[in-house]
Structure 1
Amino acid sequence: MNRSLEKLRRTSAKISEFLTRDPRVSSVILFGSGAYGVVSNRSDIDLEVVCNPEIPSRADRETLLSQIAPDWEIHAYGFENSPFPTIDTHRNVDGIKVEVHYQTAKWIDAVVTAVVEHGATTMALCSHRPYTVPALIQRGLVLFDRENFAQKWREESREYPPNLKQNILVKGIPSLQNQMISLKALIQKKSAVVDVRNIQRNQRNVLYYALDALTTVLFAINEIYDPAQNHIEETVFPELTTVPDRLIERWKLIQTTEWPDSVAAFIDLANDVLDLTKSHLSKHPDL
């Protein structure tokens, strides 16, 4: 274990120890780069705090966190209908930026059940990709599990649901094809646009969504819950068995090549992924 990773995990464990003094904190899961082992001196700490039956109040959280360090930003932000409705942040705990995310056990249990039993790709509780929740639980580093919720959810979601694969591919394949069309159209319009910054912004946005569409399909045919994380070429791609030739090399090329060569590289890779998907579906006619 490198020194940056060791320090990050040590600080994570310290924060967890203080948080779990509140009996409503049932589990603490380290996710992101600290859990996956791909860290640098700039890596942050991301903790998912599972609460039962409720998330502690702002005052209670601040009381606990202030024992670790002063000047926490309590409820800095949050995202409704997501695993992260409430987030407390600190710019510097042991030299590391920290984000503490809170969600209830009841919410996570309902989302995991919907994904595992019904192949949910959207739902009222979690409108965007509820299947990233099992990924967080499967790939996270469990620091504390008072009521064994994390263990329970890991066991329940261990097998990738066939209906989830089907539901993702039904939408994911057309989405990838549409992204390829959008990229080609943007190249054709390039010469007509005068605002260079606007061109570059559009290029980054379209390519980002195109790569996202590609990995959505790729993860589904490999029966991998979408981890919604950075550094996937280091942490997830090596696990995949159904992949185009030189996947990691070509992925990095897209990330580092200037426009429009990056688009050509993406289109080439996307076509290979679609061919793989077609072959995969032909072998699994039940999907």
Structure 2
Amino acid sequence: MIRPRFRLNAISTLQRTATQRCSVRFASSESTAAPSSTAPSKPKPRRKRLLYAWYGLVLFGGVSAGLTIRNFVSPALPVPGSREDKVLLDALSSDAEQLDVVKFMRSQIAPVEESSDGSERKGWVELDIKTHITESKNDEGEQTRTITSQTLAGSKGLGVQRAFWNADTKELVAAVWIGSAMSGWPMMAHGGGIATIFEDCMSRMVAGPDASIDSIARPTSMSITYAKPTFSTNFYILRANYSRPNLPQAAPPVDPEPQPAKSWLPSWKDLTKKEQPIEAKKTVEIIGTLESVDGELCVRVKGTFPVSG
């Protein structure tokens, strides 16, 4: 009878121990579950407001710093016609005289020979311009090409230019200045300003060295490929010749017509003027390039102009 009692006592002891363990586990699970039920599952609205306020402060600081640098650190652009502008134009003229392309083209000009019949001089000649290529002897005292002569005038715009024309081969070689006011992005020339330079030069080619370029029509089409970024406050070399009619060239030939696939600009920024339906016999086609003074190709252009007869 001793063994059964011992077994019963042992069983009851094991039951009490198991009951105590279950009660301890249940109590511990309740104590851990209580705090988790009250813990927030989303960030506090106050924390979001502080984050937005920090972003706004950073944005305001960046804009303020940019405006400060632009207005106080960067030099002010001189007003066209002012004393400061004239000093800068004189300095640009001296720099243009030292360009290799200007020296080379002047070496290609044949000596002046007096002609009894007063016929037009052939071969390379330097156009008689004071600042930009839109000037002519027939425009004395008259305003022509307002954008060029007023808006883009002075050292901050087109500055000074040197241009050479070959009447036999219908070629033009020019050294052009692109000022800081012609920038789109900081220190990068605006595409519209570059197109204006080409339109002026091509109009001069159609009009001739002495006639007013306002006497001819505007181009019917202008296709421009910006091969590489063109930086402002620099001299560039512009070369242009007739591709229709096709004439033998004396200067190094320019690249063929623009290739839009090579443009560094996205397609949605294509501002190319679409060609109008005009008979080919009544138009001339001119192609041109814009290069750095080191010979790096930046822009390719093709323009079509209507002609009479």
TM class, shorter-chain normalised?
Answer: under 0.3
Q: Which has the larger radius of gyration?
A: 2
- Scaled by the length of structure 2, what TM-score is found? 0.23
Provide the TM-score with structure 1 as the length reference.
Answer: 0.24
| Larger helix fraction of residues | 1
